[in-house]
Amino acid sequence: MRMLFLLLLVSSLFGQIAQAAISEGEYTELIALFQKHYPDIQIQGSWDNDTVNAQAMRFDDSKLIVIYGGLARERTTTLDSFTLVVCHEVGHHLGDKPYFPSMAGVPWASGEGAADYYSIQSCFNKLAPAVGEQAVTLPAVYENDLRQICSGQSNTAICRRSLIAGLIIAKLQWQVLPNESNEPSLQRKDDSIVKSTLLDYGSPQCRLDTFIASATSTSRPRCWSP
């Protein structure tokens, strides 16, 4: 997840969770949880590495995800946002087309949008019941938006958690280059329509739209998938 190399301060909206981070024990437990659910992928931690990132890699037929300790120590990280980041990396291995071109062999890494689309409906929803929930109190307008978006889902609590995590991630991406796009919001969408499928990230709003589509099992947003 290359965006995470450039994390800046989280917006004041998430001030109540800005100092969350996760402990080494929680980090280790989450890695073990992912390894249990995805035994065909080697989930490797590197707690002493301060890089704020997680990466999906492949060596021949071996699938690998490396999760650096800096991601856990980043002050905006919550248990759910950490889980969603790693689910995104799982999506690079197990998600659908489009795939990044491969320098050698058959392409294997799902594009960024495809990995985001995989992340909630095929991963986060499965792992969330085993992940400790952190209490998050949001302004009423956000709670109303989340309630409306998640109203038709079988588990509205997990839908809410996944979208709060997705909103945090999208806002962090936006804060890297805030002058290049509008702040992502649950109340609008990226109305752009691409002519060809994007492999890299779309706008922060497009990412949030993709998380919403994944959580609600609706079509891929046209801001990255025509």
For residue 156, what are the CA distances in angstroms to 35, 116, 142, 147?
26, 19, 14, 8
Rounded to whole angstroms, the Cα distance separating 203 from 45 reads 29
Token look-up 């280059």 returns 177
Q: How confident is the model at residue 180 (pLDDT cuts 50, 70, 90)?
A: confident
pLDDT tens digits, residue range 102-152? Answer: 877 789 999 999 999 999 999 999 999 999 887 777 888 899 999 999 999
Is residue 225 domain-resident? Answer: no
- pLDDT value of position 105: 79
Residue 101 lies in a domain: yes
Residue 117 lies in a domain: yes
Q: Is residue 196 part of a domain?
A: yes
> Of 16-20, 53-57, 152-156, 184-188, which gets the smallest average pLDDT?
16-20
pLDDT on residue 1: 44
The confidence score (pLDDT) of residue 6 equals: 33
- Beta carbons within 10 angstroms of residue 142's beta carbon: 19
What integer pLDDT is reported at residue 3 of this predicted model?
Answer: 38
- In the prediction, which pLDDT does 20 show? 63
For helices 156-176 and 140-150, angle between their N-to-C axes, nearest 10 degrees: 120
The residue length of the chain stands at 226
Phi, psi for residue 54 in degrees, rounded to 5: -140, 150
Residue 224 in any domain: the answer is no
**pLDDT at site 103:** 78
pLDDT tens digits along 69-89: 999 998 888 999 999 999 999
In a domain, 221, yes or no: no
List of residues 6+ apart from 177 with CB closer than 8 A: none
Mention every residue, 6+ apart, whose C-beta is less than 8 A from residue 210: 113, 116, 117, 202, 220, 221, 224
Q: Which domain holds residue 74?
A: 2-216
Burial letters for 94-118: b for 16+ Cβ neighbours within 10 Å, e otherwise?
Answer: bbeebbeeeeeeeeebbbbbbbbbb
Give the chain's domain count.
1
Predicted pLDDT at 15: 45
Give the pLDDT confidence of 27-64 residue by residue, as tens digits.
999 999 999 999 999 999 999 999 988 999 999 889 99
Asked if residue 13 has pLDDT above 70, the reply is: no
Residue 158 belongs to a domain = yes
Q: Please check whether residue 148 lies inside any domain of the structure.
A: yes
What does pTM read for this prediction? 0.90
